[in-house]
Structure 1
């Protein structure tokens, strides 16, 4: 059965805010970019450590089976290459900025970074990009 797509729209409004509020928002976005980039770097390290494993390469060349997939998953987990492994990493990073960015916001940034590297890991992307200073970034929370 085909899914019907509902069109979505976004609208931008300029905000009339005080200077201190603008600085606070800019600081939060700067910290979010820093947290995202550090999570992306850590996820890339873990991705490379998984790919460097000889057993991983051997299993990839072998015939597909549930046992093979289970063993590949175990290797990824042993190297900390999982979304929740990255959540553990982001706890330490977020603690430095706990006055400006919450733990759930940091976990969401870690999830986005992991999903980006996961695409690279499974061959759905060719490379990943770190957020530059002037790049836009959005900050969201895991809860309402």
Structure 2
């Protein structure tokens, strides 16, 4: 069971004009489209990466190995290195998904409604979800 922290929810009505509502609606729709595109691309790359022989070989490697000096078990650096190289090879990194999102934004009218920071934030959240 999670520990409860004191919290509350407050709702405040926005006083907007019709033009504000249209602009806000367009920005939210653009952010949703960037998020969904980033999520789809990240899931696609993840599936391809997991199908690769390098990834499957790394999965079969032991997670820990015996340290010869101390006799303790330590993380298998070779395994971690293989995973990292495979992620980079398939472009499954935070930065590559952000670049993909920026390319999507710049390829259509979404760039008229969404800035660089908003695009990066939406793509980062999609990547973290995967």
TM-score for the superposition, normalised by structure 1 = 0.73
When residues 19 and 37 of structure 1 are mapped into structure 2, their CA distance, relative to the original with a 3 A threshold, is same
Instruction: Report the counterpart of residue 95 of structure 2 in structure 1.
Output: 84
Which structure would you say has the larger Rg?
2
| Pairs aligned (count) | 114
User: 2:33 maps to what in 1?
Assistant: 34
- Name the one with the larger strand percent: 2
Q: Which runs of 5+ in 1 are unaligned?
A: 118-144
Indicate the structure with greater helix content.
2
| 2:112 is the alignment partner of 1:99 | yes
Give distance in 2, aligned partners of 1:14 and 1:58: 55
Displacement of 1:16 after TM fit?
A: 2.0
- Note the C-alpha offset of 1:98: 1.9
**SS state of the match for residue 12, structure 2?**
coil
Instruction: Compare 49-58 and 31-40 and name the one that shifted more.
Output: 49-58
Unaligned runs of 5+ in 2: 64-75
Q: TM-score, normalised by structure 2?
A: 0.81
Once the two structures are superposed, residues 74-123 of structure 1 have per-residue CA deviations (whole angstroms, 9 ceiling, x without a partner) of 10111000100101101111213222110111001000000000xxxxxx
Tell me the distance in 1 between the aligned counterparts of 2:6 and 2:49: 39
Equivalent residue number for residue 62 of structure 1: 61
1:13 matched to 2:12? yes
